[in-house]
Each structure stands twice: as structure tokens, then as C-alpha cells.
Amino acid sequence: MNHSAIGVGRTRVPLGTVFALMLVLLYFPIALLFVFSFNQNTVLSFPLRELTLDWYAEVFSDDALLAAARNSLVVGAASATVATALGFAVSVVFVRLRSALRIPLLALAVLPLIVPFIVLGVSLFLLFSFLDVPRSLATVAAGHSILGLPFATLILFARMSAVDPQLEDAAMDLGASYATTLRRIVLPLMGPSLLSAWLTCFIVSFDEVAVALFLAGGDPTFPVFLYGQLRFAQRLPVLIAMAVMLMIGTVTLTLAAFVLARRRP
């Protein structure tokens, strides 16, 4: 009896069909958005009459829209960099430091996962008001660094646990300081997972609206801008055109993060 013999006594539930059907249901609304972005009319009605690329052209003459997209890139990159650096520190400390210090650190680093976004948004909003810090892209990035930290920590912690401590011992026996050991030995070993953590944090930030709405000043990120504009029906096609372009970017990044996270070193 070989190992696939488990498959012999399967239930007759057609799971493949269920899966395929679910994929269709998941993709249909997105496909609809895609179609809508090529539709001349600002109301979607079938059959489609005139198709156009005008909405895509219009994106590039809409300065506010472009500025918002650029803001999101900046906030995403800044918060992902901070979250990944901190997540790396948390992982190294938790895996290597034999001290009671390490447990509350890991707990705190993943705590944002279980705090509803609105509570995080409200509390950061109050903090910045209390400190008299004007709301800006920097406050959004600070908030997003906290949202990304659990993801960075979990990804990097898994990889760090697999790094052989004897490699570090060897480097240090040969006279390297621990800082050098981390930089020359541990960082390269963590390579793809660092990138995966960074991309995950970037995507979390890039798409985030609930916390950002509380922390953004006059200069909105793309989701905040989108949220503000969605009530104007005639703006919808342009917004969707922009979003479709960004979507192609984030989907690519997500796939990259996913592939990198699964790659065996």
C-alpha cells in the first residue's frame, strides 16, 4: 500500500469544483471593476456600448490623484522599512537572548494584530493631538509601522529560528563582533525573508484606510483620497482606472512576497 492509498477512500465531495466555483465568485466582482474602467459611460450597463482608454489617460492629468498615489508609495516604503528593521531586531532578540526580556517584546510586537484598527487609529490620533504633532504623511507612516510590525516579526521570526546558531559562534570565534556577525552572517541568511517582510508591510500600508483616515493631514494617501472621492459617482471611472494600475503593481508585489517567503534558503 503506497502513501497515496489515503486517497482511495475519499469522500465524494467534489472539492475541486467547489474551489473553482469559489474562484469564479471571487474574481467576478474584480473583473467587473476592470471592465468598468474601460467603459465610456459612468454608469455600468450591459451590454457595454463604447469602450475607451480615456479614463486611463485622464489619470495622468489628475494632479491630486497622482500626488495621493505618490504619497502612498512614500508612506508604504517608509513604514515598511521601519517595521522590517524593528521586526528583525525583535526576531534576533527573541531567538537568541536568553532572558525574560524577550517574551514581552514578542508579545508587544504582535499585539497590533488583535487590536481593532479603529482603536489603534483613535489612540494614535489622541497621542499626536496630545503631543501637538500636526497630522501628516509622517504620522500615517508611524501608525503603519505599528500595523506592519506583527507581519514582519512573524515572517522574520520563522526564518530566524532556522538560522544555525553555530554559524554565529564560528564567526565570533574568528574574532568578529556580534554586530559584524549579524551583518555578515545572519542578514544574508535571512535575505529573501527580509524582502518578503518588507513587501508584506508595504502592501499592508499601501492598502490601509481605517487608521490612515485618523492620521492623515491635508496630504492624503491613495486610499484616503479614494475614500473621500467615492461619493462622487462621475469620478468613479478615473479612480478605478488608477486603482487598476496600482492593483497590477500590488498583485505583482504580493506574488513576489509570497514566492520569497516560501523559498528555501
Partner 1 sequence: MLGRRAFLRVLALPPYLWLAALLVAPIVLVVLISLRPEPGPVDFGDPWNPSLIQYWRILETPAYLRQLGISALMALIVALAATVLAYPLAYFLAFRAGDRASLYLVLLLVPFAVSFLLRVMAWRLMLGQEGALNTLLQSVGLTDEPLDLLLYSREAVVLTLIYVWVPFAALPIYAAMGRIDRRQLEAAADLGAGPWTRFVGVTLPLSLPGAVAALFMVFIPTVGEYVTPRLVGGSETYMYGQLIQDFFGRAASWATGGAAAVIMLVLTAVLILAGTLAVRTRVAT
Q: Which of residues 223-242 bind partner 1 (CB under 8 A)?
A: 223, 226-227, 230, 236, 240
> Rounded to whole angstroms, how far apart are CA atoms 253 and 203?
8
Tell me which of 57, 140, 164, 172 binds partner 1, using CB under 8 A: 172
Closest distance to partner 1 from the beta carbon of 108 (Å): 5
Quick one: 63 or 98, whose CB is closer to partner 1? 98
- Map the footprint of partner 1 across residues 65-124, applying CB under 8 A: 82, 85-87, 89-90, 92-93, 96-97, 99, 101-102, 105, 108-109, 111-120, 122-124
Alpha-carbon span 42 to 64, nearest angstrom: 20
The footprint of partner 1 on residues 18-47 (CB under 8 A) is 18-19, 22-23, 25-27, 29-30, 32-33, 36, 43-47
Q: Rounded distance, CA 11 to CA 245, Å?
A: 43
Q: Is position 264 an interface residue for partner 1 (rule: CB under 8 A)?
A: no
Using rule CB under 8 A, residue 251 touches partner 1: yes
Residue 169 CB, nearest approach to partner 1 (Å)? 9
φ and ψ of 224, to 5 deg: -65, -45
CA distance 232 to 235: 6
146: left (phi over 0), alpha (psi -120 to 50) or beta: alpha
In the complex with partner 1, the residue whose CB is nearer, 77 or 85, is 85
Q: Is 247 in the site for partner 1 (CB under 8 A)?
A: yes
Q: Is 262 in the site for partner 1 (CB under 8 A)?
A: yes
Distances (CA, A) of 197 to 88, 153, 175: 9, 8, 31
Binding of partner 1 by 5 (CB under 8 A): yes
Q: Are 240 and 36 in contact (CB under 8 A)?
A: yes
Which region among 55-63, 155-163, 187-195, 219-227 touches partner 1 (by CB under 8 A)?
219-227
C-beta of 44 vs 57, nearer to partner 1:
44
- Asked if 138 touches partner 1 (CB under 8 A), the answer is no
**Residue 26 or residue 61: which is nearer to partner 1 going by CB?**
26
Smallest distance from partner 1 to CB 126, Å: 5
Q: What is the spatial distance between Cα 108 and Cα 99, in angstroms, rounded to a whole number?
A: 16
User: Residue 186 carries which DSSP code?
Assistant: I
Q: Let me know: does 220 contact 68? Beta carbons within 8 Å.
A: yes
Helix, coil or strand: residue 51: strand
Cα angle: 87, vertex 88, 90; to 5 degrees: 65
In the list 42, 81, 136, 250, the residue contacting partner 1 (rule: CB under 8 A) is: 250
Q: How far is the CB of 171 from partner 1 (least distance, A)?
A: 11
Query: How far is the C-alpha of 190 from the C-alpha of 178, rounded, in Å?
Result: 16
Rounded CA separation 84/38 (Å): 38
Which one of the spans 16-24, 49-57, 62-70, 187-195 is the region binding partner 1 (CB under 8 A)? 16-24
